Amino acid sequence: MQSSFQNQHSKIEQKALQEIQSVRNVLLKDGYLVDEPTKKQYNYEINISNGKDKLKFLAYFGKKGIKNVLQGNLNSDFYKKIDAIINSKFNFKSEEITEPENYIGSDESGKGDFFGPLVVTAFAFDNKIKSDLSDLNIKDSKELSDDDIRKISFKIRERFSDRISVIEIKPKRYNELYESFKNLNSILIWAHTKAIGELLKKFNYTNLVIDKFCNEDLIRTELNKKLNNYNLLLTEKAERFNGVAIASIIARERLLFWFERKSAELKLELPLGASEKVNNVASHIKEKFGNEVLSELIKFHFKNFKNI
**3-state secondary structure labels for all residues of 189-236:** HHHHHHHHHHHHCCCCCCEEEEECCCCHHHHHHHHHHHCCCCEEEEEC
Of 73, 117, 124, give the one whose Cα is nearest residue 254.
117
Q: Is 107 annotated in some ligand binding site?
A: yes
199 vs 164: CA distance, rounded Å = 7
How far is the C-alpha of 205 from the C-alpha of 68, rounded, in Å?
33
* Residues sharing a CB contact under 8 Å with residue 184, sequence separation 6 or more, in sequence order: 111, 178, 301
d(CA 308, CA 305): 6
- Please state, in angstroms and rounded to a whole number, the distance separating the CA atoms of residues 45 and 69: 9
CA distance 12 to 43: 11
Distances from the Cα of 164 to the Cα of 125, 151, 190, 212, angstroms: 10, 16, 17, 20
CB burial class (10 A; 0-12, 13-18, 19+) of residue 260? middle
Residues linked to residue 102 through DSSP beta bridges, in sequence order? 126
How far, in whole angstroms, is CA 252 from its chain's centroid? 14
Coil/strand/helix, residue 110:
coil
H, E, C per residue of 175-189: HHHHHHHCCHHHHHH
Residues making up the binding site for a divalent metal cation: 107-108, 211
Residues making up the binding site: 107-108, 211
